[in-house]
């Protein structure tokens, strides 16, 4: 079995307190240190064998979010080995960018289409921008769903709230996909949560009063947002997740999942998530 090496990591470092690390396995952002604080959650049981998806950070789901007839749950992008298209480079003072690439030749191609994914990671002293581009290099159209799956580190999941959902609706995956109305702006997490909110523009604010911290999640061309926490029972079912770790994480996931993206030959799809942190 392959195991992770230094060569697997792409590091974007502004200074000792502001950095991002990205694994070429799945282009998974595994850490974002902002002013010395880790913003992302990475399970203590995450497996780095270059086979399994990394449990935490920011995995990317493509060409399928959720179960998939043609391959693994959440698609192949999070377990494929990406290449470095553009190594970390400082564009201006205080901005560093790297670009990773995945194309059909780097996957087992069960999907059957030719494509190029470019994933730009840009770090500044105030933001982390993750931008994904999909190009159809096939002679025929294809369609897909896509989602960024950030795991945020929180003090205590029952103390936090996530805003940006006023007068929306959601499909509850824990209740056979039943549809519910969300009147309140804030989502609170007090039990197993797996909700798909279609067409919420955002931004979302993840308020963590115990940390005096707000993480703001801006999204472009990701109409949907999924909120997930596995809670006790879900945690126990995952071999790469500690039984008590659900209390210290929440996933707020921008995606294009309630409808499929359709791309004609040579067409491109672009979307991004930009995170910023405010201390209160
Ligand atoms: O265990 P994974 O395949 O990484 O999926 C983890 C979770 O991802 C998303 O948030 C889905 O909405 C959940 O249904 C799923 O359980």
Q: Which domains does the chain have, with CATH numbers?
A: 6-279 (2.70.98.10)
ipTM of the complex: 0.98
Q: How much distance in Å is there from the Cα of 93 to the middle of ligand 1?
A: 37
What integer pLDDT is reported at residue 90 of this predicted model? 94
Tell me the HSE value of 21 on the side-chain side, using a 13 A CA sphere.
Answer: 17
What integer pLDDT is reported at residue 54 of this predicted model? 98
**Residue set of the binding site:** 55, 73, 78
Asked if residues 152 and 40 have their Cβ atoms less than 8 Å apart, the reply is yes
Asked if residues 138 and 153 have their Cβ atoms less than 8 Å apart, the reply is no
Give the residue whose CA is nearest to atom 12 of ligand 1: 194
CA–CA gap between residue 27 and residue 21 (Å, rounded): 10
Q: Give the sign of the dihedral formed by CA 237, CA 149, CA 46, CA 133.
A: positive
What integer pLDDT is reported at residue 6 of this predicted model? 63
Asked if residues 62 and 73 have their Cβ atoms less than 8 Å apart, the reply is no
Probe target for ligand 1 pocket from 72, 149, 172, with the most ligand atoms within 8 Å of CB: 149
Residues known to be catalytic: 149, 253
Question: With a cut of 70, which residues of the chain have pLDDT below it?
Answer: 1-6
**Residue set of the binding site for substrate:** 55, 73, 78
pTM beyond 0.95: the answer is: yes
- What is the token pair recorded at 44? 């203590």
């Amino acid at each position: 079995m392959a195991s992770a090496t230094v060569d697997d990591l792409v590091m974007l470092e502004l200074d000792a307190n502001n950095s991002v690390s990205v694994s070429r396995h799945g282009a998974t952002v595994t850490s974002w240190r902002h002013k010395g604080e880790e913003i992302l959650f990475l399970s203590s049981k995450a497996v780095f064998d270059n086979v399994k998806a990394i449990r935490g950070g920011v995995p990317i789901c493509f060409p399928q979010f959720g179960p998939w007839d043609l391959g693994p749950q959440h698609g192949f992008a999070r377990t494929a080995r990406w290449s470095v298209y553009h190594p970390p480079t400082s564009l201006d003072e205080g901005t560093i960018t790297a670009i990773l690439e995945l194309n059909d030749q780097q996957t087992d191609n069960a999907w059957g289409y030719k494509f190029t994914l470019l994933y730009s990671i840009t770090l500044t002293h105030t933001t982390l921008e993750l931008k994904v581009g999909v190009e159809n290099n096939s002679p025929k159209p294809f369609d897909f769903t896509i989602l960024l799956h950030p795991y945020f580190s929180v003090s205590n999941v029952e103390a936090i709230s996530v805003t940006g959902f006023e007068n929306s609706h959601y499909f509850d995956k824990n209740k056979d996909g039943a549809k519910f109305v969300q009147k309140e702006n804030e989502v609170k997490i007090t039990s197993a949560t797996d909700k798909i909110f279609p067409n919420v523009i955002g931004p979302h604010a993840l308020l963590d009063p115990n940390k005096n911290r707000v993480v703001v999640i801006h999204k472009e061309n990701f109409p949907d947002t999924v909120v997930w926490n596995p809670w006790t029972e879900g945690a126990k079912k995952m071999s790469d997740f500690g039984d008590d770790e659900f209390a210290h994480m929440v996933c707020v996931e921008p995606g294009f999942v309630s409808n499929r993206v359709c791309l004609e030959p040579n067409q491109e799809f672009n979307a991004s998530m930009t995170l910023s942190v405010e201390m209160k």
